[in-house]
Each structure stands twice: as structure tokens, then as C-alpha cells.
Chain A
């Protein structure tokens, strides 16, 4: 009897795995592919369909999802193991790996205490200035180093401020939400600013190179996208303050106590200086050398130097890096390339454009809407990087200017404001237990509207000027 109860439990727990593979099997064996799509393209789309279900519902651990992408490509996707392997590791994956390692190396140095002191010195003790300061600092720093590192560093600062606020946590819910969202949304809007702001940016750059769609240098990217970040910073702070009005206008006691707390850190050490200098060098190299050496290789040089100088140990890196994510991005990029090679991406692009053309006759507008809507919606369900890995090849097959459409898609994939799972920064603040899922909806829709308008402004006014 126990065995059968265990079996029922297993089936119940793994139902989405069974559904995904069941539907995949059904499509593969019994339903012929649509006309205009090669059998290989059809099979790749089946794998992507199964993978999306698995990523959404996670009935198996993330690395297992990555592994099934690899073996299905060999079994039904018509690829050889070597082919899959050759697309698996590239500069984008090197960059994701390197940036995850850099985050561990830098966060472990305790620079957040210095950062806290710096922010307080700039903002003073007025609540609105602190919220605006957190938003601006998060956005600017995350645009260079990625949102998860900055959120990990700023969250304790915000939580310490909240802890030192002389009121019960219930009566400071507005203040708490305002501080936490200023970090998360600040980091999210900033992550589009430069190629190194997020893995998805580098994935798109990799697709441009892989598909022969052109390229953008680090500085060209900044020139095109950074104005949008600058526009969004004050509006984001305003939205947050209006959505979550803080109960206290001045955080005098909390700021004073935080200053005392961080003052214990003492004078800046040689180790900390070295960490900052090294990172500044990496940043400079990304800006000036990435066209020749790639962002990923430079990140790996940085990690090598951090280890060589004894600033971080392999044990720390090994513990702090989620290798499953690296495996997953390698696998999704490899299937993204196969989607393009087999014609699956072009077929999906034609389908989505054809479907909407009767509603929106202007093809350029339609392409822009499809790329933004597809990325914006999917990033709220998956994550921004996974979205770009899957949606990127489709967007680049829509026709029109692949650079502009790719950029629009990458930017829209950062519009994951509605849920706690869309962006790492949102997940991190959600895990504090101090903000709830409905809070993301309350502020998220305003952020989405603001971001779409900012994107339109930049795309319609700024990009034509640059061209």
C-alpha cells in the first residue's frame, strides 16, 4: 500500500514533468509539423515548448532542465553531440560565469559598509532623499556590475535602517517597501545601461555576432541606452514614494545609528582598495577591449586576478556560484542557435508578425511591438536572461534592424516588475519577507507603463538622432 501511495505522490509532484514530456511526445509522434517549417525546426520548437513548461513549473531542479535540453537536441533535434557542445560555451556563458564569480569576490570584501556611509553622506536623513539615493546608486552601479550584486550589498543597509527606525515594523510598512523597492527597481532599471549590466545583454550581443546581425561596442551600447536609465531614475523614485508613502519623513535616529554601526568597520584596508582598483580595471577593459577580447574573457581575467591576489578563494567562489544557472544558459543559448539554424526562429517570427499584421498594418511598429511585448511578458514569467536566450532568435528574425529590435527586446526583458521571480533583485527583496507579492503588482504596473514610455521616447527621439 505504501508503495502505491508513494507512486501517487511522485506523480503528483512531477505532474508538470509528465505533462511536458507527454505533450512533447504527442507533438513529436502524432502531430505533423506545420507547413513552411522544417522537421528539425519543428523538433527544436517542441524541445523549447517542453523546456518552457519545465522552467515555469520547476518539477525538476534547474540543472536537470538544462541537461534535458542537451540530450533532446541530440535525440530528436537532429544535432550531433559535438554540435550542441560547440554552441554550449561561448563568450556570453563565460560572461555569466565571470559576473557571478565577480559578485562573490566583491560582496565578500564587506565594501557594503563603505557604500552605506557614502550613500548617507550624500542623501542626509530625509526619507525621500534616501529613497532617491538608493534608486540612483542601485541603478548606476548595477548598470556596470549587474543587479544581483548591488542588491545583495544594499539590502543589509536598508534592513539595518529599518531595524533602527524607532517604530514597530507594522507602522513602517510604507517606509520598508519604499526602501526595498528603491533598491530592487533601481537595480532593475539600471541593468540595461551597459552590456555588463546583465547576462541577457551579453546573450543578445552573442546572438548578433552568431547570426551575423552586426554588433555594438560597449560604449555604443551605453550611448544608445544610458539616457533611458537616466530618465527612469527620478521617475522610479517618484513612483515608489507615491505608491508606498513612508510613514516617517526624516530618519534621523536610524541614520545616526547606522553611521555608528558602519563606523566600526574602521579605515579602508589595502584589500578593499585592491578590490575596487581591480574592478575599475575590469570595467575599463570592458569599455575599451571587449570588442577584441569579449566581455566574458575579460571577466575571467578579473576572476583569475582576484584569486591570484588572494582576494577570494576557489572554495568561496564554488560555494557562491550557482553552476546550474550557467548550465541552463549554456543549454538555452545552444538551443537558441539551433532554433535559428533550423528555421524554427524564422517560422515563429513570421507567425507572430502574420498573426498581428491585420491589426497593426505598419510593419516597423508591429515588429517593435512584438519584440517588446514578447520579452516583457515572458520576463515576468521566466527571468530576463532566460527570456532573451529563448526570444532573442525570434526577435532577430522579425526583419527590420536587428540591432534596434534586439536592443528593444533586451530592454523590455528588464520590465519584470510584476512578480518576485522575474528579476534577481526582486527575488532578493521578496525573500526578506517584508514585501508581499501584491506589492509588486501595486508598483509594477506603474513601472511598466513608465518604462514602455521611456523606451518609446528613447527609440523614437534619441536613436534617430544617433543614427
Chain B
């Protein structure tokens, strides 16, 4: 299993990096840490490349490489049990251009489960391109993605599950809030949530919301299945059934001490572009970390 973790700077990406490393450890997954820097005008590309090449001779590197270096040092601290990572050294000279991106080759880390990648361009396009190069199960991204279109683009265009680490405080004791309905993705959300809950010993709640007072067979059946799946793994679960507008209820219920896990919508992409979907609206409105499982 392979996860992609997008970072922006040492100032803002600390919690995202820690959360990403933690989730990757929970799943024993390979982690590709990617920094996406702004791409400047094509007209200036030549002078810029010339300048960067000359700067490298003075041991001065692309600002993104400094961010990757920081991420690398942090990961060493976060994952003390990773012996390969412990013995590896960050060397900017080992950055190689490969498929429109720069990859840091970690020469002494045979079997190391960490990769470092530098890309330049528009965030969604670059993450999408990176995800298409390998079979990624999850993309982990920081919390400043609140804009309407960013929420839509993240969910709609990245071909993997997405964890948006919005307002994540790792010192806080979170509960996992699994949003359960009759959709296909609920099953995968439960599997994902169970794995994290098991490793981190977090409490799990399931929430099923109906617009009317009547909970159909699909909803109650899905909730029952979720409970069974979690209990089968010895994870205690509290179940809630509420009535009202689903997105408002999700947001109100989650407060500030839950991590939401929900399935992606299967609605028509055009409809989602113009009218949104439950995951898009929840991502826009909630203030807690949210995992959208595809």
C-alpha cells in the first residue's frame, strides 16, 4: 500500500506530516512526501534553470528542497523504529529529475518506506500526475484547503482516498466519527476507520443521518454491518441515528474532537461540479480533520 503526503512548508505542515506518518505506520504503507512549489512563467524558465544550476554550485538549493530536508529530519524523529530511515542521510545532490518531477534518491535506504518528491505547478494537477504514476490508496493534505473549488477539486479529481488534516492537533484525544449510509463507499470507510482506531486506540462512533424520521432498511442495515465489522475486530462502537440535513448534522455532531471518516459520493461529476455533494459540503464546512474514502 502506498500513501501520498503533500506538504507546503515547515511552518504549516508539521501536524500533517506527523499525522501522515502515523497513518502510514498504522497501515504499514509506503509514504511519498511531495512538495508542490509554484511554477513560474514559462518565459522565464531558461534564466531560472540557469540560476538554479549556478546556485547548486554554491550549495544553495531550491526552497522546496529545504522543505523536503525538514520533512526528512522530522520523519526520522517521528519514526524512530525505521532503521533504514535512521541510517539514511539527506543529500540534495541525489535529487534526480524523473517524469517531470524531482525525486530524492536515498542511496543507503534499501527497503526504506519513505520517498521525497519535488514538483512544480498547480497543486491539484501535480498531485493528480503523481498519483497516476503509482497505485496510491490515500492522499494526505494539510488543512488550508477550505475554498469551495479546492474542496471540490480535491475530492473530485484526485484518484485516491483523501485525508484533509484540517485543524489537526495530535495532542488532542480524538474520536473517530464514521458516517454510515447505504452507499458502496461506507464499507471501505469502515475498514479504513477500523485500522486507524485499532492502532491509535481511538474511540469509534458511527453516525447515520436521515432527512426524514424513518430510517430505511438500507441505512439501518449499513449501520448494523458497520457495527458488526468493528466489533469483529474488538473495537467498541457507539452508534447514533439522527434526523435532519445530513451535512449540517455531520458538522454539528463532529464539534471539534472528532475525525470524520466518510465515503466519497458516486453522483454524476457534472452535478457535483455545480451542486456539490455531501463529502464536498462537509469538507467545506467542517473544522475537523476529514477522511474521504473512495
Contact = CB atoms under 8 A, between A and B. Distances in A.
Q: Indicate, yes or no, whether A interacts with B.
A: yes
Interface of A: 1-2, 4-5, 8-9, 12-13, 55, 58, 61-62, 100, 103-104, 107, 110, 112, 148-149, 151-153, 155-156, 159-160, 163, 320-322, 324-325, 328, 382-383, 385-386, 420-421, 424-425, 427-428, 430-433
B54 A431 contact: no
B160 to A, nearest CB: 12
Interface of B: 40-55, 57-58, 60, 62-63, 122, 125, 128, 153, 156-157, 159, 266, 268-270, 273
B276 to A, nearest CB: 14
Contacts of A424: 44, 47-48
Nearest to A63: B42
Contacts of B40: 420-421, 427, 430-431
7 residue pairs, one from A and one from B, having the closest CB atoms: A322-B46, A433-B63, A148-B47, A62-B42, A156-B58, A427-B44, A424-B47
B54 A156 contact: yes
B60 A156 contact: yes
Contact of A58 (B42, B46, B125): B42
A431 B52 contact: yes
Interface class of chain A by DSSP: helix
B47 A427 contact: yes
B55 A159 contact: yes
A324 B58 contact: no
A160 B50 contact: no
Contacts of A433: 63
B71 to A, nearest CB: 16
Given A153-B54, A424-B44, A8 B270 contact: yes
A156 B50 contact: no
> Which of B47, B122, B157, B269 has most chain A Cβ within 10 Å?
B47
11 contacts: A4-B269, A8-B270, A61-B42, A112-B54, A151-B47, A159-B60, A325-B42, A325-B43, A325-B46, A428-B44, A428-B48
Contacts of B157: 5, 9
Given A4-B269, A433-B63, A383 B57 contact: no
B217 to A, nearest CB: 26
Contact of B270 (A2, A4, A152, A425): A4
B277 to A, nearest CB: 12
A107 B50 contact: yes
Most A Cβ at <10 Å: residue of B43, B53, B57, B268: B43
A394 to B, nearest CB: 20
A320 B52 CA distance: 11
A152 B54 contact: yes
A272 to B, nearest CB: 14
Contacts of B42: 58, 61-62, 324-325
A383 B41 contact: yes
A226 B213 CA distance: 82
Contact of A432 (B49, B57, B63, B266): B63
Contact of B45 (A104, A322, A432): A322
Given A8-B270, A9-B128, A159-B55, A152 B50 contact: yes
A107 B128 contact: no
A312 to B, nearest CB: 12
Contact of A320 (B53, B122, B269, B273): B53
A200 B29 CA distance: 53
A152 B47 contact: yes
Nearest to B269: A5
A100 B46 contact: yes
Which of B60, B122, B153, B270 lies at the interface centre, i.e. has the most chain A CB atoms within 10 A of its CB? Answer: B60
Given A421-B41, A433-B63, A159 B58 contact: yes
B44 A383 contact: yes
A428 B273 CA distance: 37
Nearest to A149: B50
A152 B47 CA distance: 7
A160 B63 contact: no
A411 B221 CA distance: 75
Nearest to B149: A12
A152 B63 contact: no
B270 A103 contact: no
A282 to B, nearest CB: 18
Nearest to A2: B159
Nearest to B273: A8
Contacts of A328: 43
- Which of A324, A427, A431 has the most chain B CB atoms inside 10 A of its CB? A431
B50 A148 contact: yes
A382 B43 CA distance: 9
B286 to A, nearest CB: 23
A156 B46 CA distance: 17
A433 B49 CA distance: 15
Contacts of A62: 42-43, 45
B275 to A, nearest CB: 14
Contact of A104 (B50, B52, B57, B153): B50
A156 B57 contact: yes
B41 A427 contact: yes
A287 to B, nearest CB: 25
B47 A1 contact: no
Nearest to A163: B60
Given A325-B45, A420-B40, A431-B51, 11 more contacts: A9-B128, A103-B47, A110-B57, A155-B54, A325-B42, A325-B46, A328-B43, A385-B43, A427-B40, A431-B62, A433-B63
Contacts of B48: 424, 427-428, 431
Q: B44, B268, B270: which has the most chain A beta carbons within 10 Å?
A: B44
Contacts of A9: 128, 156-157
Nearest to B157: A9
Nearest to B50: A152
A103 B50 contact: yes
Contacts of A8: 156, 269-270, 273
A382 to B, nearest CB: 8
A230 B243 CA distance: 76
B98 to A, nearest CB: 16
Identify which of A4, A322, A324, A432 gathers the most chain B CB atoms within 10 Å of its CB: A322
A321 B47 contact: no
Contacts of B55: 155-156, 159
A170 to B, nearest CB: 11
Contacts of B49: 320, 322
B268 to A, nearest CB: 8
B7 to A, nearest CB: 14
A61 B45 CA distance: 11
Contact of B125 (A13, A325, A431, A432): A13
A431 B49 CA distance: 10
Contacts of A383: 41, 43-44
